[in-house]
């Protein structure tokens, strides 16, 4: 058996990112994520990094860099709603990870932007998998409030983290109960007390030195979330816990709540839809892996979509850094178990952008949107399909990665009829 390394020759040719942000992507099946639906044999024209025009009968303007999709699919870049990209290299090596501060006393004031590394080795792999934007999450440390997350792109550029302190992460699931001292009731007591500390900030800290739950600096950091200026992503799985979360949001009118986890969210789908609370869940989790998720099921996503719940997908059952690239496989499995293709694709592109308040800039191919475009050799939700080209903000991206170089090194030797890389 012989290997032909033509794919790498192509990749090498495309290595240098275009300086200009003028780009035409031609000759593909365009998924717009808008009312325009799917455009066959279409072209996307990006001018100055933004999408200028989309249609079936467009000519690439003179002087524009052109990517010929060659009959493949052209889609918006994927938006992963739930990662720790840039925070971690190797799971079991604590010194390579900034996901959680287990010995720290800070909570809401923790800001992942202070730890983010745009040169992390897993970011090019996510890019190679068609992901162009992502949310960066803190894990919780010694308290149920993990800190504030950010939004970034996968270009690896020094300014790729484009929005810091965009949401607050709180764990109210079984693990949150453990963190809070051993029961859900303690976790809720802590959360209510922390919100009181924020609500009465700074006055409370003038008469007392300490808050009821959190210190003065953390209370200041919690103010935005308590006023609904940024959303609270709440980790909850069990139907009863989700109902408590809905009630908490209801009792604190200003709060903007996002449910993360959502193993049993389908059981409270109507209530979530009515409250307008989005859900971020992993479509693959169908086991009674804990007493939190006894009712998790593969058609959960389909049921949430049918009920009108704003639903985005994540890869938490794989991981949140090395295999975030599997997002599209997780979406494909939602389709295999009843979700509409359009809903599932939206759940990994436009819906996450909407959940984080940037749905008018990212996640769709329409005039005025950022030029985040991926060219695929087939249906992106098919596991056999692959990425041919990626543009972020109109700039064509390098698709090499450490893994790609390893594969090239060892496969090349097969092509030469020799045994392995020997040095």
Partner 1 sequence: MAAGAAVTALALAACDGTNGASTEPAEDTARETSQERAERRAEARDNGNARDRDENGLVRYAADPYPSTYAPFPSDTVLIRGATVFDGVGGEMENADVLMQDGRIALVGADLALPEGATEVDGTGRYVTPGVIDVHSHLGVGASPSTRAHSDVNEAVSPVTAEVWAEHGVWPQDPGFDHALAGGITTLHILPGSANLFGGRGVTLRNVPSRTVQGMKFPDAPYGLKMACGENPKRVYGQRSGPATRMGNMAGYREAWQRAVEYRNSWNRYWDAGDADATAPTRNFELDTLMGVLDGEILIQMHCYRADEMALILDMSEEFGYHVHTFHHAVEAYKIGDLLRESDTCAAVWADWGGFKMEAYDSIQENLPITHSYGACALIHSDDALGIQRLNQEVAKALGAGRRLGLEITDGEAVSWFTGNAARALGIEDETGSLEPGRRADVVIWSDHPLSTYAVADQVYIDGALMFDRADPAVRPVSDFRLGQPGQGVQ
Binding site for partner 1 (CB under 8 A): 1-8, 89-93, 122, 239, 264, 267, 284-291, 294-299, 317-319, 321-323, 325-326, 329, 332-333, 335-337, 381-386, 403-404, 406-408, 410-411, 414-415, 419-421
Q: Which residue, 58 or 295, has its beta carbon nearer to partner 1?
A: 295
Cα–Cα distance for residue pair 97/83, rounded to 1 Å? 13
Q: Which residue, 71 or 410, has its beta carbon nearer to partner 1?
A: 410
For every residue of 325-391, DSSP letters joined together read: GGHHHHHHHHHHTT--HHHHHHTTTHHHHHHTT-TTTSSS-STTSB--EEEESS-TTSTT--EEEEE
Q: How far is the CB of 121 from partner 1 (least distance, A)?
A: 8
Q: Which residue, 96 or 361, has its beta carbon nearer to partner 1?
A: 96
As given in the structure block, the two tokens for residue 144 are 């149920």
Q: How far is the CB of 80 from partner 1 (least distance, A)?
A: 16
Q: Which residue, 21 or 235, has its beta carbon nearer to partner 1?
A: 235
Q: How far is the CB of 36 from partner 1 (least distance, A)?
A: 25
Q: How far is the CB of 360 from partner 1 (least distance, A)?
A: 30
Q: Which residue, 76 or 300, has its beta carbon nearer to partner 1?
A: 300
For every residue of 386-409, DSSP letters joined together read: -EEEEEETTEEPP---HHHHHHHH
Cα–Cα distance for residue pair 289/94, rounded to 1 Å? 26
Q: Which residue, 162 or 313, has its beta carbon nearer to partner 1?
A: 313
Is the previous residue joined to 202 through a cis bond, with omega within 30 degrees of 0? yes
Distances 322 to 26, 139, 151, 398, 403 between C-alpha atoms, Å: 31, 16, 18, 18, 11
Cα–Cα distance for residue pair 397/411, rounded to 1 Å? 24
Bridge-partner residues for 65, per DSSP? 23
Q: Which residue, 381 or 396, has its beta carbon nearer to partner 1?
A: 381
Cα–Cα distance for residue pair 100/387, rounded to 1 Å? 32
Q: How far is the CB of 339 from partner 1 (least distance, A)?
A: 11
Q: How far is the CB of 132 from partner 1 (least distance, A)?
A: 19
For residues 306 and 273, the answer to whether their CB atoms sit within 8 Å is no
Q: How far is the CB of 267 from partner 1 (least distance, A)?
A: 7
């Amino acid at each position: 058996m012989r290997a032909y390394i033509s794919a790498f020759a192509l990749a090498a040719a495309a290595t240098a990112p275009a300086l200009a942000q003028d780009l035409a992507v031609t000759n593909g099946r365009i998924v717009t994520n808008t009312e325009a639906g799917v455009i066959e044999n279409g072209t996307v024209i990006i001018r100055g990094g933004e999408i200028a025009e989309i249609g079936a009968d467009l000519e690439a303007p003179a002087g524009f860099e052109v990517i010929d999709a060659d009959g493949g699919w052209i889609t918006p870049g994927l938006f992963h709603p739930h990662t720790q990209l840039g925070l971690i290299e190797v799971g079991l090596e604590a010194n390579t990870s900034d996901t959680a501060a287990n010995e720290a006393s800070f909570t809401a004031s923790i800001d992942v932007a202070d730890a983010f590394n745009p040169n992390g080795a897993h970011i090019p792999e996510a890019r190679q998998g068609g992901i162009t934007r992502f949310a960066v999450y803190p894990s919780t440390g010694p308290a149920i409030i993990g800190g504030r997350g950010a939004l970034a792109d996968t270009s690896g550029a020094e300014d790729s983290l484009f929005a810091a302190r965009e949401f607050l992460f709180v764990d109210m699931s079984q693990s949150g109960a453990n963190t809070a001292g051993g029961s859900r009731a303690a976790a809720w007591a802590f959360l209510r007390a922390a919100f009181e500390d924020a609500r009465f900030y700074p006055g409370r800290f003038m008469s007392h030195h300490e808050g009821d739950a959190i210190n003065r600096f953390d209370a200041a950091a919690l103010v935005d979330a308590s006023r609904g200026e940024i959303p609270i992503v709440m980790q909850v799985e069990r139907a009863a816990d989700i109902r408590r979360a809905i009630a908490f949001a209801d009792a604190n009118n200003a709060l903007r709540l996002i449910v993360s986890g959502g193993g049993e969210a389908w059981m409270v789908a109507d209530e979530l839809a009515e409250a307008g609370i989005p859900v971020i869940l992993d479509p693959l989790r169908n086991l009674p892996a804990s007493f939190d998720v006894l009712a998790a099921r593969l058609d959960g996503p389909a049921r949430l979509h049918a009920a009108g719940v704003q639903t985005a997908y994540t890869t938490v059952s794989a991981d949140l850094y090395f295999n975030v690239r599997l997002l599209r496989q997780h979406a494909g499995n939602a389709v295999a178990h009843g979700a509409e293709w359009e809903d599932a694709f939206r759940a990994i592109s436009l819906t996450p952008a909407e959940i984080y308040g940037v749905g008018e800039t990212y996640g769709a191919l329409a005039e005025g949107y950022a030029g985040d475009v991926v060219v695929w050799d087939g249906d992106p939700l098919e596991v056999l399909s692959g990425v041919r080209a990626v543009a972020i903000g109109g700039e064509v991206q390098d698709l090499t990665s450490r893994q790609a170089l390893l594969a090239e090194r060892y496969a090349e030797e097969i092509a030469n009829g020799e045994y392995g890389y020997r040095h």
